[in-house]
Amino acid sequence: MIDTVIFDVGGTILDESHEFAAWADWLGVPRHTFSAVFGAVIARGLDYQETFRVFRPDFDLTVELERRAAAGQPESFAEADLYPDARGCLESLKDQGLFVGLAGNQPAHAEATLRDLELPVDVIGTSHGWGVAKPSPAFFERVVAAGGGVASSILYVGDRPDNDVRPALEAGMKTCLIRRGPWGHILDPSTVAERCLFRIDSLDELPSLVAKHNATGG
């Protein structure tokens, strides 16, 4: 049975297209060029920040975030950046009586911003707030603890086979891979996807899948 559903944030409920475009503009790089390099970095299995270093070898994310904030261009997101299917999916799962949460790699400002959106969730966890980031096993230990402590009753939903699905499986959770955003399309190893309980293209699909799974006793 699934008692708890925990979602990754960026690329899963939050569309990061606007923010990627803002970084391209900040770096003075054509957006399509930035996107092409971003995809190449992901395909090579590198940290996404290597994209920035292609254009600015001395790039330091913390420093650049401070510079953007000082220039009146802080990294941010709002209701308009949520995927259209996100809020409805969360509400539907809550209506099933499930414990629902968010847990992702997010910077300092993100947790407060997510709370301000008043999403229908019971818990919000971020790498900054927890002091540990995906794909570290310690992050997923925090997910299990936040979700009630029984890994096998938790479904973790994410767009990344490497940062989301694989470590969640290793932590004993059930998993759902959503194929959207750059990681969801570029990285899709069958060895990971085949181990997912669900593999979807839209969050609209998820509530009925969870309900059917629980109705049949898991």
3-class secondary structure, 101: strand
55 and 45 within one domain: yes
Q: What is the pLDDT of residues 95-153, one digit of tens each?
A: 999 999 999 998 878 889 999 999 999 999 999 999 999 999 999 999 999 999 999 99
200 and 99 within one domain: yes
Question: What CATH number is given to the structural domain containing 10?
Answer: 3.40.50.1000
**Closest among 41, 207, 12 to 104, alpha carbons compared:** 12
105 and 129 within one domain: yes
Q: Which amino acid is at 194?
A: E
Looking at residue 43, its pLDDT comes to 85
43 and 150 within one domain: no
121 and 208 within one domain: yes
Looking at residue 188, its pLDDT comes to 67
88 and 41 within one domain: no
Q: What is the pLDDT of residues 79-107, one digit of tens each?
A: 999 999 999 999 999 999 999 999 999 88
Looking at residue 189, its pLDDT comes to 63
Looking at residue 171, its pLDDT comes to 97
32 and 9 within one domain: no
Domain count, the chain: 2
Domain stops at, among 28, 43, 70: 70
Q: Measured between alpha carbons, how far is 132 from 92 in angstroms, rounded to an integer?
A: 30
pTM (whole model) above 0.75? yes
Q: Give residues with Cβ within 8 angstroms of 76, minimum separation 6.
A: 19, 109, 113
Q: Which long-range contacts (CB under 8 A, 24 or more apart) does 119-126 make?
A: 119/13, 119/86, 119/87, 119/90, 120/87, 120/90, 120/91, 120/94, 121/90, 121/94, 123/6, 123/99, 123/147, 125/101, 126/9
Looking at residue 28, its pLDDT comes to 95
Q: What is the pLDDT of residues 164-211, one digit of tens each?
A: 999 999 999 999 999 887 877 777 666 777 889 999 999 999 999 999
**Closest among 184, 137, 132, 133 to 158, alpha carbons compared:** 184
185 and 116 within one domain: yes
Looking at residue 162, its pLDDT comes to 86
111 and 211 within one domain: yes
Q: What is the pLDDT of residues 32-78, one digit of tens each?
A: 999 999 989 988 888 888 999 999 999 998 899 899 999 998 888 89
135 and 125 within one domain: yes
Q: Measured between alpha carbons, how far is 203 from 211 in angstroms, rounded to an integer?
A: 14
Is residue 179 within 8 A of residue 185, CB to CB? The reply is: yes
Is residue 100 within 8 A of residue 120, CB to CB? The reply is: yes
Structural domain of residue 107, as residue ranges?
4-15+79-215
